[in-house]
Structure 1
Amino acid sequence: MAHDHIHATPADLGPAFRWAVGLNTAYVLVEATAGFLTGSLALIADAAHNLTDVAGLLTAWGAAVLAKRAGTVAYTFGYGRATILAAMLNAVAILIGVVLVIWEAAHRFQAVVEVPGLTILLVAMVGIGVNTGSALLFIKSQKEDLNAKGAYLHMAADAAVSGAVVLAAAGIMLTGWQWLDPAVAIAVSVLIAWTAWGLLRDSLRLELDGVPEAIDRQAVADWLGGQEGVSNVHDLHIWALSTTRTAMAVHLVWDGADPDGFLDHVADELEHGFGIAHATVQLEQVACERAGSCLVT
Structure 2
Amino acid sequence: MNAGHNHSHAPANFNTAFAVGIALNIAFVAMEAFYGWKINSLALLADAGHNLSDVIGLVLAWGGALAGKLRPDARHTYGWKRATILAAFINALLLLVAMGSLVWEALHRLQSPEPVQGITIMVVAGVGIVVNTTTALLFMRGREKDLNIRGAFLHMAADALVSAGVVVAGALALWFGWTWLDPVVSLLIAVVIVVGTWSLFRQSLHLLFDGVPESVDLLQVKALLESLPGVARVHDLHVWAMGTSDIAMTAQLVMPEGHADDAFLQNATEQLHHRFEIEHATIQVVRVPFTAPCGDWPAGCAAPQKHGHAHNH
Per the TM superposition, whether the score is higher than 0.5 is yes
Q: Letter of the aligned partner of 2:140 in structure 1?
A: I
Q: Match for residue 276 of structure 2?
A: 274
Equivalent residue number for residue 190 of structure 2: 189
Distance in 2, matches of 1:30 and 1:122, equals 11
Amino acid at match of 2:274: H
More displaced stretch, 86-95 vs 283-292: 283-292
The one-letter code sitting in structure 1 at the alignment partner of 2:103 is: I
Aligned to 1:111: 112
Give the direction of change, closer, same or farther, for the CA distance of 1:112–1:36 in structure 2 (3 Å limit). Answer: closer
Q: CA deviation at 1:294?
A: 2.9
Change (3 A) 1:49 1:249: same
Look up the SS of the partner of 2:239 in the other structure: strand
Q: In the aligned structure 2, how far is the partner of 1:36 from the partner of 1:259?
A: 70
Native 8 Å contact 2:42 2:182 kept in 1: no
Question: Is the contact made by 1:94 and 1:154 (CA closer than 8 Å) also made in structure 2?
Answer: no
1:294 to 298, 302, 308: 298
Relative to structure 1, the CA distance from residue 75 to residue 57 in structure 2 (aligned partners, 3 Å threshold; closer, same or farther) is same
Match of 1:78 in 2: 79
Asked if the contact 2:72–2:80 (Cα under 8 Å) also holds between the matched residues in 1, the reply is: yes
Question: Where does residue 157 of structure 1 map in the other structure?
Answer: 158
1:293 positional shift: 5.5
Partner of residue 311, structure 2: none
Distance 1:154 1:29, change over 3 A: same
Inter-CA distance 28–233: structure 2 relative to 1 (3 Å threshold)? same
- Cα distance in 2 for residues equivalent to 1:72 and 1:288: 30
Is it true that 1:259 corresponds to 2:261 in the alignment?
A: yes
Are the aligned partners of 2:6 and 2:273 in contact in 1 as well (CA < 8 Å)? no
Query: Relative to structure 2, which stretch is displaced further, 34-43 or 158-167?
Result: 34-43
Q: State the 1:41 CA deviation.
A: 5.8
Alignment of 1:62 with 2:63, yes or no, is yes
Report the AA paired with residue 72 of structure 1.
Answer: D
Partner of residue 221, structure 2: 220
Moved more, 72-81 or 172-181: 72-81
Aligned to 2:54: 53
Q: Residues 64-98 of structure 1, C-alpha deviation per residue, up to 9 Å, x if partnerless?
A: 11111111222111111111111111111221122
Name the SS of the counterpart of 2:12 in structure 1: coil
Q: Which whole-Å CA distance do the structure 2 matches of 1:52 and 1:94 have between them?
A: 7
Aligned residues of 1:90 and 1:154 also touching (Cα < 8 A): no
Deviation sequence 1:180-199 (CA, Å, 0-9, x none): 11112212321221121111
1:285 equivalent in structure 2: 287
Structure 1 stretches of 5 or more lacking a match? none
State whether residues 66 and 79 of structure 1, in contact with CA within 8 Å, keep that contact through their aligned partners in structure 2: yes
- What residue number does 2:168 align with? 167
Deviation at residue 44 of structure 1 after TM alignment? 4.4
Runs of 4+ deviating beyond 6 Å: none
Matched-pair contact (CA < 8 Å) for 1:234–1:294? yes
Please, which moves more after superposition, 166-175 or 97-106? 97-106
TM-score, structure 1 as length reference: 0.93
Deviation at 1:39, TM superposition (A): 5.5
In structure 2, the residue corresponding to 1:6 is in which secondary structure?
coil
CA distance in 1, matches of 2:5, 2:291: 27
Q: Aligned partners of 1:31 and 1:290: how far apart in 2?
A: 60
Report the Cα distance in structure 2 between the residues aligned to 1:257 and 1:89, rounded to whole angstroms. 46
Taking the TM superposition and a 5 Å limit, the aligned residue runs for 1:93-132 are 93-132=94-133
| Superimposed CA distance per residue, residues 239-286 of structure 1 (whole angstroms, 9 cap, x where no aligned partner) | 001000000000011233552221121112111222101000001011
The equivalent of 2:181 in structure 1 is: 180
Residues 73 and 258 of structure 1: CA distance in aligned 2, closer, same or farther (over 3 Å): closer
- How far apart are residue 34 of structure 1 and its match? 3.0
**Does the residue aligned with 2:251 lie in a helix, a strand or coil?**
strand
Q: SS at 1:230's partner residue?
A: coil
Partner of 1:10: helix, strand, or coil?
coil
In structure 2, relative to structure 1, the CA distance for the partners of 1:9 and 1:59 (3 Å cut) is same
* Cα separation, partners in 2 of 1:191 and 1:28, compared to 1, 3 Å: closer
Aligned AA (2:298):
C
2: CA distance, partners of 1:184 / 1:43: 10
TM-score (normalised: structure 2)? 0.88
Instruction: Indicate the percent of aligned positions where both proteins have the same amino acid.
Output: 45
In structure 2, the CA distance between the partners of 1:289 and 1:9, relative to structure 1 (3 Å rule), is closer
- Provide the secondary structure at the position in 1 that maps to 2:232: strand
Q: 1:288 to 1:72 in 2, by over 3 A?
A: closer
| 8 A Cα contact 1:234 1:288, kept in partner | no
